[in-house]
Amino acid sequence: MEMKMFILDVVIAIVDTGIDANHVDLDGGKVIAWYDAVNGKTKPYDDRGHGTHVASIAAGTGEGDPGVQEGVAPGAALVGVKTLPGVGQTGDPRDTLKGLEWILANLDRYSIDVVNMSIGTTASYESRKEVINTINKIKARGVPVFVAAGNEGNDEPYYDTLSTYAKYTSTSVGNIKDPYEGGWGLAETSSRGADENVSYNKGPYVVLPGHNVRAAAANTGKEYVTLSGTSMATPMVSGVFALMYDAAYARGVSSSINFTVTDMGEDGFDKNYGNGRVLAYESIKDAAQESSGSFDTHRTYIRVPNGSVQKGNVDLYAIRVNSSAADLNATLLVLNEKAENLDLVIWAPGSNPYQGDPSSYWIRRNDGPPHEFFSLSNPPRGTYYIGVYGVEDSANYSLEITGHELTVN
């Protein structure tokens, strides 16, 4: 078998359903260690597929689709830790605990630098306390454990829906859409925190795209599958951290590793986006203490962090689209937590937003608050009016608008 070269100085542990180490993106010695808390098997496998998908997002080589399908840190090595069973079976938290305890005992042996845990639960803190304590013990050893924030954001009560693991550990990851998938903006299902005076986290730590992510399909050899969720956003963050680690420490730079983020939603830390979206390029550059270089997404990002609209009124934003080369996207989040009903409204170029019932002009709305969005493909150039309509309530909101060559009129 041909051996592939990996940056063994950077090792990511994947706590999940396993890893298919025969997929071309993950074979050739990339999986350097394995522990099966479920069935006790000694060789890597994945009888569910979730862990393989997650692992290839973090560190897949992209060999099955060269130049297109590389993971975030394709040179990193992997440690597979199977704690979830196959399709149709319910996971046992005791297996998750065994897997994390194995990692804690083997941090130095396998030089594990970051742990990815795309696992969620709505069970009580008391029933998951040992798992949470072990995550925090790993963190205390200087190894971050990135956990999925959860996928309950589109279900009532909408807010205070973070996974139990996300509520009680410090590095959970929320899911946003990128500009090719209707963003930048929070994915509807991404779990949210709360404003209440609670003893646990009030929001995720950071966010990155996890919507419609194509990655390795287990037990296919070289095929791929597209999945969505905070499970997909979490290995994005783990992969970025691995590259930051390599930039900072493998090259002898003695500095702490901190993500560089851009604020989204409300100003500062908030219950939807946490500290904001991780800027991968800037984070890696800062970890290496490099002063030169820049990255351009070729998208205009407009943020209204602290909007407020009265019942029956419309807040209007005039946006000039100067190029049809990319989608025009908008995401509205109702910041109140009492299911206030707002609608996102748009008037195409040439329409008069000051005449007629605003409800006759909206192009898309969701059935349940607090999330509204739209995405227009190849929008004609001109001035669009984007409105936030207080259908039945007064409420506070945040608004994200993304497109190509936008200006605020």
Q: Are 277 and 400 in contact (CB under 8 A)?
A: no
E strands, 17-135, where?
31-36, 76-82, 114-117
- Angle, helix 50-59 to helix 230-248, in steps of 10 degrees: 30
Residues designated catalytic:
16, 50, 231
Cα–Cα distance measured from residue 22 to residue 133, given in angstroms and rounded to the nearest whole number = 34
Q: What is the sign, positive or negative, of the torsion defined by CA atoms of 225, 301, 237, 198?
A: negative
**The tokens of 111 are what?**
């030089």
E strands, 122-244, where?
145-148, 172-177, 185-186, 206-209, 213-216, 224-227
Cα–Cα distance measured from residue 192 to residue 162, given in angstroms and rounded to the nearest whole number = 6
Cα–Cα distance measured from residue 105 to residue 111, given in angstroms and rounded to the nearest whole number = 11
Q: What is the sign, positive or negative, of the torsion defined by CA atoms of 357, 329, 324, 227?
A: negative
Mapped onto helix, strand or coil, the DSSP state of residue 120 is coil
Please name every residue paired with 400 in a beta bridge, in sequence order, or none if there are none: 303, 331
HSE-up (13 A, CA, CB side) for residue 152: 19
Mapped onto helix, strand or coil, the DSSP state of residue 254 is coil
